[in-house]
Amino acid sequence: MDDGICAVCAEALEWVAYGPCGHQDVCATCIARLRFVCHDRRCCICKSLSNTVFVTKALGSFTRIINDFSILPADAKDGKVGSYWFHEATQAYFDDFDEYKIIKAMCRLSCSVCDKLEVEGRKNTKRRGKFKNVEQLKEHLSHQHELFFCSLCLENKKVRCAYLLGCHLAWGS
């Protein structure tokens, strides 16, 4: 692999995520997307299963290395775990709090309609709390706002009203 470039998105490697196999060729953002959206826990390079990954600053040959992943707690919950931060949805340990917050925010499921209403200062946003999974978000959007996800576009989180979803499914975007 070209040192310093993500093998998936071809962007410069600033933060890497790697599992027990040790491949440090994919950026933390791509790994988080694969693990959170696609539920793919395999290494992008060798396809070995990585139940847990470690996220750290990409520093070439000076990148922080964890050789023994068994030292990381297997039953960790979101937040500070020893000297690391753990993100449960991606099963990732971070050595940097700011990068942990960025990935955690990226993986947050939220209703854009309710978010906009909150920003505008409207009180009745019909939100009952965080969405634990995509199914809860889909149900909320359907029942509260009459909006629907196209199953093919779900990874990009495109949302449409029922009529436009029908048009999209029949004729594409």
Buried b (16+ CB within 10 A) or exposed e, 99-138: bbebbbeebebebebbeebeeeeeeeeebeeebeeeeebb
Domain assignment present for residue 161? The answer is: yes
Splitting the chain (173 residues) into consecutive groups of 10 residues, what average pLDDT does each group show?
81 94 94 88 95 91 86 89 93 95 88 81 61 85 86 63 75 71
- Give dist(CA 80, CA 107) in Å, integer: 18
Say what the pLDDT of residue 134 is.
80
Q: What is the pLDDT of residues 96-107, one digit of tens each?
A: 999 999 999 888
Where a domain ends, among 77, 106, 135?
106
Domain assignment present for residue 52? The answer is: yes
pTM higher than 0.75: no
Residue 55 shares a structural domain with residue 92: yes
- Give dist(CA 155, CA 145) in Å, integer: 20
Say what the pLDDT of residue 16 is.
95
Number of domains in the chain: 2
Residue 84 shares a structural domain with residue 150: no
Residue 83 shares a structural domain with residue 100: yes
Q: What is the pLDDT of residues 19-57, one digit of tens each?
A: 999 999 999 999 999 998 888 999 999 999 999 999 999
Domain assignment present for residue 1? The answer is: no
Residue 31 shares a structural domain with residue 93: yes
Residue 80 shares a structural domain with residue 52: yes
- Give dist(CA 129, CA 83) in Å, integer: 30
